[in-house]
Amino acid sequence: MTADPEAPREAVRRVFADAPPPAIGVAVSGGGDSVALLLAARAAYPGHVRAVTVDHGLRAESADEARAVGALCGSLGIAHDILRWTGPGSGGNLMDQARRARLALIAEWARGAGIGHVLLGHTADDNAESFVMNLARSAGLDGLSGMRPRWQEAGVVWHRPFLPLSRESLRADLRRQAVGWIEDPSNDNRRFARVKARRALAALAPLGITAATLGASLSHLAAARQVLVAATAEAARGMEDLAGGLVMAPGTLAALDPEIARRLLAGAIQWMAGADYPPRGAQLTALQARLDMGADAQLGGVRFLHRRGRLYLMREVRAVMGPVPLSQIWDHRWRLSGPADPGCSIAALGAEGLRQCAALPGALPHNGALSAAPLREALRQSPAVWRGQTLVAAPLALPDGPYQADLSQGLAEFILSH
């Protein structure tokens, strides 16, 4: 964990080795790590940085802290926005809800501002603490391979340039620059699992188990995981597309190594349903058993149908997202391009949409392709443009219309980036 004063700037410069994009988002909470990231990004890419702070509202001081970050950004000549979280839902892990809400809010902000890349300030210490927490949960290779330095989600590419650097080295750099930061009192609250992990690591330090040594082990585990990920992505490339669904040729799943097959099914479910996490291991085992027997199944908002020796994967009707404006991503992965019309929205084509397709320009009276049962089933869950109850366009059923539908990511790219 270096104390080189140039290390933070160099770490950020490595994110965009060739040329920085026009705008780079930096998530700044006001803590030492994110403030160090803000300064490093500004030094590495002057004129490209925009900052954002999420006021989570979990503490009375959070609004003042967000404004303090805004004042710091103002003094540095950096544009800054504050996003507010309306609060947790019922039940569930509060810290996990806050984390997911932060990412969702920042992603929406970034897309609206035309920002494709966002930097996060996680450090080697965060990585080591997450490893200990995941070890306590009996995590497998994915959970024990460390935080991802780069991934794509919700239309944004996320980066963690500080994973090789220690928390203390960043604070030392801030002290050298005479820049202060906010200390979150929850960092000392022993009720939180991360604080317990931090204390456990302190106790293990005499044995030589530190963030630095764990970082080396995490790198080895990540390299092993990447081999499996690459093999899974290669298997995904062998699947056929069917209106956003997937088709496996006979025997494909059985021919795969069981671990690759499990990863492929889990990745397909996450990709189709936009889930934050893959299904649990027991659920995937049960799914694989049913598919091995040739039985139909459903899991995580995805249906698995055996038809004439082929396995079809498609969205479950009840799980498909409701209407959204034309400018938004629909059902977690579809983008539509075409005429702007505030009176229209994106929703599933559905059975009624298939019926109305015959009345749209370019429709054939008896479209043989549309009559194929698996294709019809997939098209029912495909994106369509509606004005109230009237179908305006069905980009996948009738591709010659005024709108085009594109997946934000293919399955193989999703697997590689997650």
Delineate the domains of the chain, giving CATH numbers in brackets.
Answer: 7-216 (3.40.50.620), 246-418 (no CATH)
Please report how the helices 258-273 and 211-237 are oriented relative to each other, as an axis angle in degrees rounded to 10: 90
For residue 245, pLDDT over 70 is answered with yes
The band of 1, judged by pLDDT with boundaries at 50, 70 and 90, is very low
pLDDT at site 2: 47
Token output for 387 = 């004005």
Residue 276 corresponds to which amino acid?
Answer: D
- Share of residues in the chain with pLDDT > 90 (%): 76
Q: Please, are residues 68 and 180 in contact by the beta-carbon 8 Å criterion? A: no
Pick from 24-33, 131-140, 371-380 the range whose average pLDDT is largest. Answer: 24-33
Mean pLDDT of the chain, nearest integer: 91
Closest among 96, 30, 23 to 65, alpha carbons compared = 30
* pLDDT exceeds cutoff 60 at 145: yes
Average pLDDT over residues 290-306: 95
pLDDT at 23 over 50: yes
Q: How confident is the model at residue 88 (pLDDT cuts 50, 70, 90)?
A: low
Taking residues 287-295, report their average pLDDT.
94
Q: Can you give the length of the chain in residues?
A: 418
The residue ranking higher by pLDDT, 57 or 214, is: 214
CB 370 within 8 A of CB 354: yes
For residue 277, the model assigns a pLDDT of 85
User: Helix, strand, coil % (nearest 5) of the chain?
Assistant: 45, 20, 35
DSSP state of 323: -
Q: Looking at residues 147-157, what average pLDDT do you find?
A: 90
DSSP-assigned letter for residue 330: B
Q: Is the pLDDT of residue 139 over 70?
A: yes
pLDDT tens profile 314-348: 999 899 999 999 999 999 999 999 999 999 999 99
- How sure is the predictor about 91, in pLDDT bands with cuts at 50, 70 and 90? low
pLDDT digits (tens, 9 = 90+) for 184-242: 777 777 888 889 999 999 999 999 999 999 999 999 999 999 999 999 999 999 999 99
Which among 94, 411, 65 has a CA at the least distance from the CA of 265? 411
Half-sphere exposure of residue 25: CA atoms within 13 angstroms, side-chain side: 27
Identify the residue with better confidence: 371 or 403. 403
Residues 254-282 have a mean pLDDT of 94
State both tokens at 308.
């004439």
Can you list the alpha helix ranges (DSSP code H) found in 274-361? 281-292, 350-357
